[in-house]
Amino acid sequence: MPRELEEPHKPREPKESTSAEEAKRDSLGLTVEDWILALLAYGKGVVRGKTRLQKALFLIDRLEEAYPGVDFVPARYEPREYGPFSRDVAKALENLRKQGLVEFEYQDSGLEEPITIIKASEEALRRGKEVLSRLKRTGAWGDIKARMDFALRVPLLELLWFVYDMWPEYTENSVLKRRLRFWRKRKLKKLYPEKSYTY
């Protein structure tokens, strides 16, 4: 039997947004910016990397598979260099930066480019906590929380491995496929040394 949200929701009309006030909203009435602020508030004001942020919101968006008829995170995704990527998320993040609600700090990483540490301002945290408070009143909160926890806590390669495994259709343009396959093989060998892995 399909699960439903406890909070009443209306299906959103697809439309092009021309300003922040007219931004696309999901079934909960939230914009992509709202979701970013909620994720930052849940992560105590920090998300370690744009790739991690993209994958976290992608995982929440995929909850639509468990809640038929419900729309989470009003963003479109396409296969890119690091798997699923949304221009809507990138644009919303840039809008938040322009408003002074988030700032970026750069750190070296083991990947091809430096990690962009995304930090929330006090106002961003306040707004993000309000969004979290709304989310906690929905029947989907347990699943949303679990996906936020996973996306914010696991090593980035593990997060990418999971996303690539679950949604391979988003990996066709990935520059990390081979590296992730090797990393996965090594990790599985460590966990289960008695087995043989040929891929």
Would residue 46 count as lying in a domain? yes
> What local confidence, expressed as pLDDT, does residue 82 receive?
86
Residue 19 token pair: 């300003």
Q: CA-to-CA distance for 181 and 165, rounded, in angstroms?
A: 10
Would residue 44 count as lying in a domain? yes
Would residue 14 count as lying in a domain? no
Would residue 87 count as lying in a domain? yes
* pLDDT, tens only, 90-108: 999 999 999 999 999 998 8
Would residue 72 count as lying in a domain? yes
> What local confidence, expressed as pLDDT, does residue 18 receive?
40
CB atoms within 10 A of CB 30: 21
**Residue 17 pLDDT class (50, 70, 90 cuts):** very low
Say if residues 157 and 186 touch (Cβ distance below 8 Å). no
Say if residues 57 and 65 touch (Cβ distance below 8 Å). no
* pLDDT, tens only, 126-151: 999 999 999 999 999 999 999 999 99
188: helix, strand or coil: helix
**Residue 113 pLDDT class (50, 70, 90 cuts):** low
**Sign of the torsion angle spanned by Cα atoms 118, 122, 126, 127:** negative
* pLDDT, tens only, 30-81: 999 999 999 999 999 999 999 999 999 999 999 999 999 999 999 999 999 8
Can you give the C-alpha Rg of the chain in angstroms? 17
Q: How many domains does the chain have?
A: 1
What is the reported pTM?
0.79
Q: CA-to-CA distance for 110 and 158, rounded, in angstroms?
A: 13
Would residue 84 count as lying in a domain? yes
Of the candidates 104, 109, 113, the residue with the CA atom closest to the CA atom of residue 81: 113
* pLDDT, tens only, 159-191: 998 898 899 899 887 877 666 665 555 555 554
> What local confidence, expressed as pLDDT, does residue 194 receive?
56
Checking if the pLDDT of 119 tops 90, the result is: yes
Checking if the pLDDT of 115 tops 60, the result is: yes
Checking if the pLDDT of 6 tops 50, the result is: no
Say if residues 96 and 37 touch (Cβ distance below 8 Å). yes
Would residue 183 count as lying in a domain? yes
Residue 177 token pair: 């496929």
> What local confidence, expressed as pLDDT, does residue 81 receive?
87
Q: CA-to-CA distance for 57 and 39, rounded, in angstroms?
A: 8
Host domain of residue 89: 20-191
Of the candidates 7, 5, 10, 53, the residue with the CA atom closest to the CA atom of residue 32: 53
Q: What are phi and psi of 89, to 5 degrees?
A: -70, -45
Of the candidates 35, 44, 30, 38, the residue with the CA atom closest to the CA atom of residue 117: 44
Would residue 55 count as lying in a domain? yes
> What local confidence, expressed as pLDDT, does residue 4 receive?
46
- Please give the DSSP secondary-structure letter assigned to residue 6: S
Least confident of 12-21, 72-81, 92-101, 110-119: 12-21
Checking if the pLDDT of 28 tops 50, the result is: yes
